[in-house]
């Protein structure tokens, strides 16, 4: 098991800036820390081995540590709310429960946990609407509806409370009634004790616990919560649901929250007379269709009144909010590149891992004047993809994972820790506990698979590397060749755009640059169109469209809409990002296929054995002579640390009708893939009988090159496994030679000709 975990407060930091690290110790009282440059994170004995270079810095030293935990679960809070239980009141709302096997879930509460006083409106015992009173004596009294709600069905709930007499009335009405289903309820009664009127924050979908955390979270959607002064029958709810309500109904309103307002923010707007605005914590899903969604419009921007729901989850997490354990300033003379804070709390053994590498990147100076005379080669670290896959635990919980991988999956200490600590939050490939897809992922929490030495279940035979650790194969190769380069992250590119790229001649990607926001996409396209030279060193790039939050740092959103390789599918009507209002899903679905930006696009995936490339006739084109200088071989990359060869995991190919420029040269194509390397589903309509690479000739990776009209060029390896072959035979191999030839020519100032 892991005995030390942590995370940085940012993934990118410039020289002269501070970075903080949050560390949790599972045992002991102290840990050692030191700054290292990450060169190679693969411990496979068939490769160069682990390589870290210690960089003396103010971080080096011994630090006190303690266990730190994540208080997961989303909710809404309204601060400075008056004591609601001082007078009679009524609560109306539409609710859509999704995880009724959890026994105690809060809809609305004004509760002091230490004294057990106030009130809670709840869902109890597998689906019964209930009210609980606490008078501060330690005793509680509860009235339940007597009927259970169904999961994923809308209910109008009405709760009237007279705190002076203890009288309570509960109404629970299904919006869609079904024959033989007894889920409608009306219950009244007098509770034996009276709720204490307390002025503490009013909370929706969560409730304070005695230990200071927030618990009793509601899993499901809530739409249109409304508080009225006085006691009102449940039938009155319908009058408040009309688009225009009668003026006589306005006077009793205490608060009327409209979740369709300011969807892009964390604010919750009270359109009632008192302005009791609230905030949501841990990013429950917004831009979600409400109880009144008709299907006539799928964008919340165009019919906001039908998107008044927020989907709360008991396992939502945005910011782990751990205390800082180590903080220091990056020295001015530290070169841009991949780094980590190496933290260690003892000796690692068979039963426990007592060290972690908390990865981050040092970017070039923010002042353009300081970086204009720096390297002309820039590496784009795929941090959006690292966040998208953060704590990817599908292999632990999903059935069929081993069949998909075509091998027995082994769990390490990190995998077991993920399983034991679901409060760390899942990846954009995982499901919430209620079965809905995780559509937000944040870096402000431990990201256990974003680390050197981590072996991924998606990494294929051999080294088993994927995402960040697979990218260290590239960093090692650059280091071996003494290449001077800068690194930026996806988040840097999203924030700074084209201006961050303009002074660089070459942009090199990692092995899997899958996730891109619109500003990222636009910036790279503008740079390429102005003469940039793009070395696309992976596969399945520029695939999913994401959104970053306007206000909150380090969190991305994806909506798995309509097409693509997906482990979950967004609900109809929920395909638009809540962060931006943009249509989500594949870039291909909005007319920006990967082929447009890097010359090739996703065609197949398979996570076991890699294959080789065979030289194609275009390799003899004089335009490609520089690429094959010193490489007469017909077979390329029949070796490597990822699946045993250079073409594997996920593959791309040239497809002109999707935007691959017609001048692209197909230098080589992979062949002889097995049946587990299968055509991706967006590439067919009717399911064909021959999806696997042993039968389908479309399953291939194309090594590709093409010039742009502005004097720039593309080079695409079209395979995630390519970089795993760079170090073979002491870096003396045809994959390494081809890559070096391209990088050397791309770095030269002479423009590529665009003439025929």
CA distances from 172 to 127, 184, 219, 344, 444 (A): 10, 6, 17, 55, 39
The DSSP bridge partners found for residue 8 are 21
CB 607 within 8 A of CB 676: yes
pLDDT at 164: 94
pLDDT at 402: 78
CA distances from 377 to 371, 481, 501, 639, 744 (A): 12, 13, 10, 27, 10
Which helix (DSSP H) or strand (DSSP E) does residue 479 occupy? helix 468-480
pLDDT at 523: 98
| Integer Cα distance of 257 and 235 in angstroms | 20
| Integer Cα distance of 338 and 255 in angstroms | 50
**Residue 27 neighbours by CB under 8 Å, 6+ apart:** 3, 345, 346
The average pLDDT across 542-550 equals 98
How deeply is 749 buried, as exposed, middle or buried, from its count of CB atoms within 10 A (0-12, 13-18, 19+)? exposed
The average pLDDT across 528-551 equals 98
| Integer Cα distance of 592 and 521 in angstroms | 9
CB 388 within 8 A of CB 516: no
| Integer Cα distance of 247 and 239 in angstroms | 11
| Integer Cα distance of 704 and 715 in angstroms | 6
pLDDT digits (tens, 9 = 90+) for 624-648: 999 999 999 999 999 999 999 999 9
pLDDT digits (tens, 9 = 90+) for 676-725: 999 999 988 888 889 998 999 999 999 999 999 999 999 999 999 999 99
pLDDT digits (tens, 9 = 90+) for 16-29: 999 999 999 999 99
CA distances from 173 to 122, 147, 237 (A): 15, 10, 11
Q: Taking 60 as the threshold, does the pLDDT of residue 529 lie above it?
A: yes
pLDDT at 173: 97
The average pLDDT across 81-95 equals 97
The average pLDDT across 246-272 equals 97
pLDDT at 427: 97
The DSSP bridge partners found for residue 344 are 32, 355
| Integer Cα distance of 464 and 462 in angstroms | 6
Residue 674 half-sphere exposure, CB side, CA atoms within 13 Å?
13
Rounded to two decimals, the pTM is 0.97
CB 302 within 8 A of CB 292: no
DSSP-assigned letters across all residues of 432-460: -TTS-B--EEESSS--TTSSTT---TTST
Question: Assign residue 81 a region: left if phi > 0, alpha if psi is -120 to 50, beta otherwise?
Answer: beta
pLDDT at 354: 96
CA distances from 529 to 306, 523, 700, 713, 736 (A): 41, 10, 27, 9, 27
The token pair that represents 538 in the structure block: 């992976």
**Percent of the chain that is helix, strand, coil (3-state, to 5):** 15, 35, 50
Q: Which CATH code fits 377-747? A: 3.40.50.880
Which alpha helices (DSSP H) does 340-434 contain, by range? 368-371, 383-388, 394-397, 401-405, 413-420
Q: Taking 90 as the threshold, does the pLDDT of residue 370 lie above it?
A: no
CB 317 within 8 A of CB 423: yes
| Integer Cα distance of 754 and 131 in angstroms | 74
Domain boundaries, the chain: 75-312, 377-747
The token pair that represents 222 in the structure block: 């809530």
The average pLDDT across 158-174 equals 97
Q: Taking 60 as the threshold, does the pLDDT of residue 109 lie above it?
A: yes
Nearest to 304 by CA among 243, 352, 218, 391: 243
pLDDT at 409: 80
The token pair that represents 501 in the structure block: 């790229």
Residues constituting the chain: 756
| Integer Cα distance of 225 and 93 in angstroms | 4
How deeply is 114 buried, as exposed, middle or buried, from its count of CB atoms within 10 A (0-12, 13-18, 19+)? exposed
Confidence of residue 756 (pLDDT cuts 50, 70, 90): low
| Integer Cα distance of 145 and 395 in angstroms | 40
Q: Taking 80 as the threshold, does the pLDDT of residue 318 lie above it?
A: yes
pLDDT at 755: 61
pLDDT digits (tens, 9 = 90+) for 486-513: 999 999 999 999 999 999 999 999 999 9
Neighbouring CB atoms inside 10 A of 352's CB total: 16
The average pLDDT across 161-182 equals 97
**Residue 322 neighbours by CB under 8 Å, 6+ apart:** 6, 7, 22, 23, 24, 68, 70
Instruction: Flag the least confident range among 345-359, 399-413, 531-545.
Output: 399-413
State the average pLDDT for the chain. 96
Nearest to 417 by CA among 438, 443, 446: 446
Domain covering 75-312: architecture: Sandwich (2.60)
List the helix and strand counts (H, then E) for the chain: 12, 43
The average pLDDT across 531-542 equals 98
pLDDT at 20: 98
Q: Taking 80 as the threshold, does the pLDDT of residue 110 lie above it?
A: yes
Q: Taking 60 as the threshold, does the pLDDT of residue 225 lie above it?
A: yes
For Cα atoms 66, 67, 73, give the angle at the middle one, nearest 5 degrees.
145
Pairing state between β 533-536 and 486-489: unpaired
Confidence of residue 580 (pLDDT cuts 50, 70, 90): very high
pLDDT at 434: 97
Q: What percent of the chain has pLDDT over 90?
A: 91
Which alpha helices (DSSP H) does 130-198 contain, by range? none
The average pLDDT across 275-283 equals 98
Q: Taking 90 as the threshold, does the pLDDT of residue 583 lie above it?
A: yes
Neighbouring CB atoms inside 10 A of 591's CB total: 9
């Amino acid at each position: 098991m892991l005995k030390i975990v942590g995370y940085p407060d940012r993934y990118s930091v410039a020289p002269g800036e501070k970075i903080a690290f949050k560390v949790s110790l599972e045992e002991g009282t102290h840990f050692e820390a030191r700054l290292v440059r990450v060169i190679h994170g693969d411990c496979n004995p068939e490769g160069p081995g682990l390589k870290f270079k210690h960089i003396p810095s103010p971080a080096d030293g011994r630090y006190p540590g303690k266990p730190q935990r994540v208080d997961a679960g989303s909710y809404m809070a309204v601060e400075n709310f008056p004591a609601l239980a001082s007078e009679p009141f009524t609560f109306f709302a539409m609710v859509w429960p999704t995880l009724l096997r959890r026994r105690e879930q809060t809809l609305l509460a004004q509760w002091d946990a230490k004294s057990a006083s106030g009130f809670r409106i709840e869902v109890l015992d597998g689906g019964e609407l209930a009210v609980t009173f606490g008078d501060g004596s330690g005793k509680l009294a509860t009235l339940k509806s007597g009927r259970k709600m169904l999961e994923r069905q809308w209910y109008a709930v009405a709760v009237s409370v007279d705190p002076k007499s203890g009288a309570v009335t509960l109404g629970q009405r299904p919006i869609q009634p079904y024959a033989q289903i007894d889920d409608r309820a009306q219950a009244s009664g007098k509770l034996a004790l009276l709720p204490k009127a307390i002025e503490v924050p009013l909370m929706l979908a969560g409730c304070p616990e005695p230990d200071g955390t927030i618990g009793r979270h509601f899993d499901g959607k809530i739409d249109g919560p409304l508080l009225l002064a006085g006691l009102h029958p449940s039938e009155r709810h319908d009058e408040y649901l009309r688009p225009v309500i009668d003026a006589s109904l306005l006077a009793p309103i205490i608060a009327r929250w409209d979740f369709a307002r300011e969807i892009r923010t964390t604010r919750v707007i009270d359109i009632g007379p008192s302005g009791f605005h609230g905030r949501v914590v841990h990013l429950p899903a917004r831009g979600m269709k409400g109880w009144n969604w008709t299907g006539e419009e799928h964008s919340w921007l165009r019919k906001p009144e039908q998107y008044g729901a927020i989907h709360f989850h008991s396992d939502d997490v945005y910011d782990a909010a751990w205390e800082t354990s180590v903080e220091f300033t990056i020295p001015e003379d530290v070169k841009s590149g991949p780094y980590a804070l190496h933290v260690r709390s003892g000796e690692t053994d068979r039963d426990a891992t007592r060290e972690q590498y908390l990865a981050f990147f040092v970017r070039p100076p923010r002042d353009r004047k300081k970086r204009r005379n720096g390297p002309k080669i820039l590496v784009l670290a795929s941090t959006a993809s690292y966040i998208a896959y953060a704590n990817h635990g599908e292999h632990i919980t999903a059935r069929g994972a081993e069949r998909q991988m075509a091998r027995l999956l082994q769990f390490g200490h990190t995998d077991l820790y993920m399983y034991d600590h679901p409060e760390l939050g899942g990846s954009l490939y995982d499901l919430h506990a209620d079965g809905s897809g995780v559509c937000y992922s944040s870096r402000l929490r431990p990201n256990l698979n974003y680390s050197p030495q981590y072996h991924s279940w998606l990494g294929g035979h051999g080294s088993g590397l994927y995402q960040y650790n697979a990218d260290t194969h590239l960093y090692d190769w650059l280091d071996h060749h003494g290449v001077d380069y800068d690194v930026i992250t996806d988040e840097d590119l999203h924030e700074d755009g084209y201006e961050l790229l303009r002074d660089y001649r070459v942009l090199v990607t990692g092995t899997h640059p899958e996730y891109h926001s619109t500003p990222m996409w636009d910036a790279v396209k503008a740079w390429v169109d102005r003469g940039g030279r793009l070395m696309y060193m992976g596969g399945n790039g520029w695939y999913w469209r994401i959104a970053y939050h306007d206000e909150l740092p380090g969190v991305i959103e994806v909506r798995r809409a309509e097409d693509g390789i997906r482990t979950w599918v967004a609900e109809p009507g929920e395909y638009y990002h809540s962060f931006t209002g943009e249509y989500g899903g594949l870039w291909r679905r909005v007319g920006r296929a990967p082929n447009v930006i890097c010359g090739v696009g996703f065609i197949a995936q398979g996570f076991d054995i890699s294959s080789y490339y065979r030289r194609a006739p275009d390799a003899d084109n004089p335009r490609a002579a520089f690429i094959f200088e010193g490489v007469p071989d017909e077979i390329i990359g029949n070796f490597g640390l990822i699946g045993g060869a250079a073409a594997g995991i996920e593959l791309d190919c040239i497809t002109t009708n999707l935007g691959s420029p017609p001048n692209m040269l197909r230098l080589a194509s992979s062949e002889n893939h097995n049946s587990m390397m299968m055509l991706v589903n967006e590439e067919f309509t009717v399911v064909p009988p021959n999806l696997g690479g042993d039968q389908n000739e479309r399953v291939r990776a194309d090594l590709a090159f093409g010039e742009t009209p502005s004097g720039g060029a593309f080079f695409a390896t079209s395979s995630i496994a390519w970089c795993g072959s760079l170090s073979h035979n002491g870096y003396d191999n045809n994959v390494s030679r081809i890559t070096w030839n391209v990088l050397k020519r791309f770095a030269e100032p002479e423009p590529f000709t665009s003439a025929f």
